[in-house]
Amino acid sequence: MTEEIMASLESLSTEELIKIRKDLDQLIKKKFDKDLGKRQGHRAKVKITGNVEIEREKEFFYKLHKITITEMSVNGLVFSIKGTVIDGDLLQVSFRVPSTGEKKIIDCQAVRVVETKPGTIPEFEVAAMAVSQDEVKKYKDMLRKRGK
């Protein structure tokens, strides 16, 4: 099937091929987003760098992971991170608002984690939902009481 499509494309002009490529790129992106289970719409596409602390790691060491926030909504965000995040992890995301420079800190919980680049240092795409301080407090208490 691929050979037939390629044979028919050879007769087209350069302009037509460029238009087809753009259409194919959009189709692939839609399919890829659908396969990832991304929610369609109601999120602002952004590119903001920031840091994240993983609550589970705080018990053993203090480390800030660098992230790139790609989508934001009223109650959540999507970011990429080079480090391991587990579904349900509590995260503290900090970043600066580009327009004002104001520092924002958001407590959130990972609800969807997809490995985008496997390897020794894997890269993950994480969708996180904002949670209240009470949720963070309950999680910390649970960690403290674990093993007693």
Enter the DSSP assignment of 121. Answer: S
Same domain, 122 and 56: yes
Same domain, 63 and 30: no
Same domain, 106 and 73: yes
Same domain, 24 and 48: no
Count of Cβ atoms closer than 10 Å to residue 125 Cβ: 19
Same domain, 22 and 79: no
Same domain, 32 and 55: no
Record the tokens describing residue 4, joined without a space: 């037939």
Same domain, 133 and 69: yes
Would you state the pLDDT for residue 32? 62
C-alpha to C-alpha distances, 73 to 59, 93, 127, nearest whole angstrom: 30, 14, 11
Same domain, 31 and 54: no
Would you state the pLDDT for residue 119? 82
Would you state the pLDDT for residue 67? 95
- Which of 93, 107, 112, 110 is closest to 136 using CA atoms? 107
Range of the domain at 126: 44-145
**Total domain count for the chain?**
2
Same domain, 131 and 108: yes
For residues 116 and 129, give the distance between their C-alpha atoms in angstroms, rounded to a whole number.
20
Same domain, 69 and 126: yes
pTM above 0.85, yes or no: no
**Could you say which residues of the chain have pLDDT below 50?**
none
Strands (E), 9-140: 44-54, 65-72, 76-82, 90-96, 103-117, 123-130
For residues 148 and 132, give the distance between their C-alpha atoms in angstroms, rounded to a whole number.
26
